[in-house]
Amino acid sequence: MNFSAKNVFAFLNYQFKASIIKSVINLCKRVLGKANNKVAKSSKKKPSTSGPSVLTRDQHNVSRKKMSNNALKVLYRLNSGGYNAYLVGGGVRDLLLGLTPKDFDIATNATPEQIKDLFRNCRLIGRRFRLAHIVFGREIIEVATFRGHHENAPEKEQSCQKTSKQSEAGMLLRDNIYGSIEEDAERRDFTINALYYSAKDFKVHDFANGIADIHAKKIRLIGDPETRYREDPVRMLRAIRFATKLDMTISKETEAPINELAPLMANIPPARMFEEFLKLFISGKAQLNFTQLRKYDLFRYFFPATDRMLNDGSHPHIEQFIVQSLKNTDSRINNEQRVTPAFLFAAMLWYPLQSHVERLRDSQPHMSPQDLFFAALSEIMSEQQQSIAIPKRFQAVMKDIWILQDKLSRREGKRAYKVLEHQKFRAGYDFLLLRAEIESTPENFILQELAKWWTDFQSTDNNTQELMIKSIVSPRAGSRRTPRKRRKIRDSNPSDHN
């Protein structure tokens, strides 16, 4: 099978026409009152899914050759165990678009316990949304049981806290009501994500006109957008993410409620926000996602202090600094270089940290620079943790990057060699380069000179390094008489950067 864009779109074009014909037939059936009762009933509440269009193997380009062998093994095992199983979501969507899927998700009518009985390498996870993870070394295939509608669940289950729970605002706190494949399709977020591929007959089932939307490059929620955002506000972030990732636009109805419903994001647990941060910012599309999140006023739910500074214009470099750090991250990812989320966290919070230091210095003029830095760090981190739960290992790297900004400016004696040996030297040096690029002005070259000094220092021989250290004009040359004790405090001062 040839996967050229031309072929992909020929298939899509074919299917687009087929789905229009199918829609017209469905409409006629409904007008004549012959439409399937269940579909008609649910389409009143959730109008976007009708009976599926089915594409046979010769009508689509979803090939097993492009799928993970482990995902195929799981599909085959579920089928031979007597269950229905489908590849669904990004796995089908991205293959239809000629892209390489990030992961392969499977949906089945087997319950989590039945899945566990079939696979020795299975772990059941999640309370809010119970799932099976089939573990193959580093690859995990996620298998979900078809979800049903909460209102269709037997009364006993609706009232059972363990299977279903909804907040007063309509947010689904637990979603473990199982149902049919049709219901599962209606519970999915976007039309382009409700495509199901069967490894039994190689057919793709399209429940919500997803193929037509792939063709039209539209991100469209299934059902009533407001209800769907209230059930799960993260869908607002997902709409943005898929639009930038797939170079599509968000449909008008799906876009319309975002501004008004954005405050619902405040209810999302910080641990989930961390996951969403990674998907949006460690994806190769960070810069675009940042612009879109700002446009819809969603960025503040990730970095409230940064967002405030961006809005009040209190710092001349902050926006440029963030944009450049995101550009660098994107290009590293697109060149398959390693990135650490800690660098981006450090960049996002750099100016808010400086402003905390300044505010504290004004109110507590007797505090040592070191104490000022650690007090500001603790304030900024405790505010930030309420939005995103940044794991401890990344917090430690952020702190190292910030402390290195001071250490990099102290190069006398043996200090430069010690800094070079610092475990996080590279990240700290890259951060300095970024600062030098953005913060330097025609009147102020200090940072640029410092950055150049470190670039040269790393690439030269030992003798030249010695000469470079000797040639530094110490800013403290005139303060020899400073008592020893005071100098010691200054040596470890991490917040005085220039």
Residue numbers at the binding site for ligand ATP (CB under 6 A): 89-90, 102-103, 105, 188-189, 193, 232, 234-235
**Which of residues 143 and 344 has its CB atom nearest to ligand ATP in the complex?**
143
Is the dihedral angle over the CA atoms 379, 345, 324, 295 positive or is it negative?
Answer: negative
- Nearest CA to 107 out of 131, 143, 82, 133 is that of 143
Residue 447 CA to residue 321 CA, distance in Å, equals: 14
Closest CA to 247 of 225, 220, 219: 219
For the record, the structure tokens of 231 come out as: 């059930």
- Which one of ligand ATP, Mg ion, none interacts with residue 191, CB within 5 to 8 A by kind? none
Which of ligand ATP, Mg ion, none does residue 497 bind to, with CB < 5 to 8 Å depending on kind? none
Minimum gap (Å) between residue 420 Cβ and ligand ATP:
39
Question: Which listed range, 105-113, 199-207, 401-409, 446-454, lies at the site for Mg ion (CB under 5 A)?
Answer: 105-113
- Least separation in angstroms between residue 268's CB and ligand ATP is 11
Q: For residues 143 and 153, which CB has a smaller minimum distance to ligand ATP in the complex? A: 143
Residue 140 or 468: the one with the smaller Cβ distance to Mg ion is: 140
* 90 touches Mg ion by CB under 5 A: yes
Told to check if 103 binds Mg ion by CB under 5 A, we report yes
Q: Are strands 53-55 and 204-206 parallel, antiparallel or unpaired?
A: antiparallel
The item of ligand ATP, Mg ion, none sharing an interface with residue 234, based on CB under 5 to 8 Å by kind, is ligand ATP
Nearer to ligand ATP, 128 or 490 (CB): 128
Q: Give least dist CB 102 to Mg ion, A.
A: 6
Task: State the nearest-atom distance from the C-beta of 132 to ligand ATP, in Å.
Answer: 14
Angle at 70 between CA 69 and CA 73, to 5 degrees: 90
Residue count of the chain: 498
Q: Could you tell which of Mg ion, ligand ATP, none binds residue 495, using a CB distance below 5 to 8 A set by kind?
A: none
Which positions ≥6 away from 96 have C-beta within 8 Å? 8, 11, 12, 60, 61, 62, 195, 204, 211, 214
Nearer to ligand ATP, 188 or 435 (CB): 188
Shortest approach of Mg ion to residue 104 CB, angstroms? Answer: 7
* CB-based contacts of 421, cutoff 8 Å, min separation 6: none
CB of 101 to Mg ion, least distance (A): 7
Q: CA 139, CA 131: separation in Å to the nearest integer?
A: 16
Q: Looking at the annotation, which residues are catalytic?
A: 103, 105, 189
Minimum distance of Mg ion from residue 241's CB (angstroms): 11
Choosing among Mg ion, ligand ATP, none, which partner's interface includes residue 189 (Cβ < 5 to 8 Å by kind)?
ligand ATP
Minimum distance from CB of 159 to ligand ATP (Å)? Answer: 23
60: its two tokens: 């689509």
Instruction: Name the binder of 232 from ligand ATP, Mg ion, none, CB < 5-8 A by kind.
Output: ligand ATP
193's contact among ligand ATP, Mg ion, none, with CB below 5 to 8 A by partner kind, is: ligand ATP
Residue with smaller CB distance to Mg ion, 105 or 276:
105
- Residue 148 binds which entry of ligand ATP, Mg ion, none, with Cβ cut-offs from 5 to 8 Å by kind? none
Which is closer to Mg ion, CB of 106 or CB of 432?
A: 106
Q: Which is nearer to ligand ATP, 52 or 89 (CB)?
A: 89
- Which residues are near Mg ion by CB under 5 A? 89-90, 103, 105
